[in-house]
Amino acid sequence: MGDVKLIVVGGTTATAAIDGISAAGADPDLRVHTPSADLEIVESGRPAPDSPVPVSPTGCPTPAVVTRAVRELLGPGSLPVEFLDAGLGAPTAAAVRDVGAAPGGDIRDPEPVPEAAAVFERARAMAPELAAVDGDSGPDGDGEGEAGGDAELLVAETIPGGTTTALGVLTALGERAAVSSSLPANPIERKRRVVAEALDASGLEPGDAAGDPTEAVRLAGDPVLAAVAGLIAGCADADIDVTLAGGTQLAAAAALARHAGVDRPFPLATTSLVADDPTADLPALAADLDLRLAAADPGFDESDNPAMAAYARGEAKEGVGMGGALALAERAGVADATVRERIAAVTDRLLAECPEGEGNAGGSAPHNGGDAR
């Protein structure tokens, strides 16, 4: 496996506070901490002492545990990681690069991301530096990687409420308006109502922002989408290989890049849980955008671990690079059973640190129509 670097872009949006829109956190008050803790888990294997463990209201753990499990199996030196702060709403102990984004507003506000264009351009300019290989990327960080050249970037996101803002952007651009959910019952009609209110507040009709991607984000998106789309454009500028590690949110970022004039094809690495979601229609959206869709199936339904049972029934289908990390494990020849064992170990370690009453991954999914991302 050649040099690969994981880039996780984290941020928040007030859209996540809309009733029934997000379950990325044990309760709404903790939701703002989820992206910050996700970065800590991917970096060091656990959240900082003052960060809550990100779980859904039923106790299903964040998909960050899957990405962390793969990093542990491959060796952190074989999958180095960089984090971009694109509007984090709470401090994080992870080392981050700042793209100058404030937390996003409610998309029903007239201008939820006023600095969208600046964030896009800052992230675009960062791509060559993020892809640079310093010769210290050999297995276990032993310095045996090749110096010089560029790593393949695996670009991921973490932002509660992000599928709703992704739907806002896709609608503003005039693209296929369908997104997934990280809970079994996708509240797609609720999301469409929110997006309709958002476009009305901004004076937009569907498709009005075609050809103007930063305007779509400024009026109907979130700062993470601006940063991810900028990274995609920067990789295209510098001829850097990039894989989009996610589902409909990464597809929405790709749509933004397409409307910015980027025409090269990209791989989209997600999970079968998203790719097989009929409400998301991801295969059709990927085809529209010339994305090579690959869907990893880690066989969560073959495990008796409660967290993986929650994943298998449709909670936390994607996020924090979950699908891309699983694809890397497959590329490296790691058996699915080995991946599942490590996910169980990481999950059990995290849930053991949850306050009493949290972490009940075996519970039933809530029927509030929320989405975890």
For 152-175, what is each residue's pLDDT tens digit?
Answer: 999 999 999 999 999 999 999 999
For 68-87, what is each residue's pLDDT tens digit?
Answer: 999 999 998 889 999 999 99
User: Helix or strand or coil: residue 153?
Assistant: strand
What is the residue-averaged pLDDT of the chain?
88
For 178-204, what is each residue's pLDDT tens digit?
Answer: 888 766 778 888 999 999 999 999 999
Angle at 73 between CA 271 and CA 67, to 5 degrees: 35
pLDDT on residue 122: 98
Distance CA 208, CA 199 (A): 10
For 203-249, what is each residue's pLDDT tens digit?
Answer: 999 999 999 999 999 999 999 999 999 999 999 999 999 999 999 99
Structure tokens at 212: 């103007």
- Quick check: 105 and 113 in contact, CB under 8 A? yes
Quote the DSSP letter at residue 294: E
In this structure, the strands spanning 96-101 and 81-86 are parallel
The least confident of 17-26, 96-105, 157-166 is 17-26
Categorize the per-residue pLDDT at 363 as very low, low, confident or very high, splitting at 50, 70 and 90.
Answer: very low
From the list 115, 227, 213, the residue with the least C-alpha distance to 168 is: 213
- The dihedral region occupied by 145, where left means phi > 0, alpha psi between -120 and 50, and beta the remainder, is beta
pLDDT on residue 27: 54
DSSP 261-285: T--S-EEEEEEHHHHT-TTT-HHHH
From the list 160, 183, 266, 257, the residue with the least C-alpha distance to 214 is: 257
Distance CA 358, CA 351 (A): 8
Strand partners, 86: 101
Q: Which residues contact 333 (CB under 8 A, 6 or more apart)?
A: none
From the list 200, 249, 256, the residue with the least C-alpha distance to 13 is: 249
In this structure, the strands spanning 152-158 and 242-245 are parallel
From the list 2, 213, 207, 223, the residue with the least C-alpha distance to 107 is: 223
Sign of CA dihedral 96, 97, 99, 100: positive
From the list 271, 116, 104, 258, the residue with the least C-alpha distance to 180 is: 271
Strand boundaries in 35-131, DSSP class E: 81-86, 96-101
pLDDT on residue 182: 67
Structure tokens at 51: 């960060």
Distance CA 104, CA 111 (A): 9
Distance CA 258, CA 233 (A): 9
Burial tier of 169 (Cβ tally within 10 Å: 0-12, 13-18, 19+) = buried
pLDDT on residue 178: 87
User: Amino acid identity of 230?
Assistant: G
From the list 241, 226, 168, 251, the residue with the least C-alpha distance to 202 is: 168
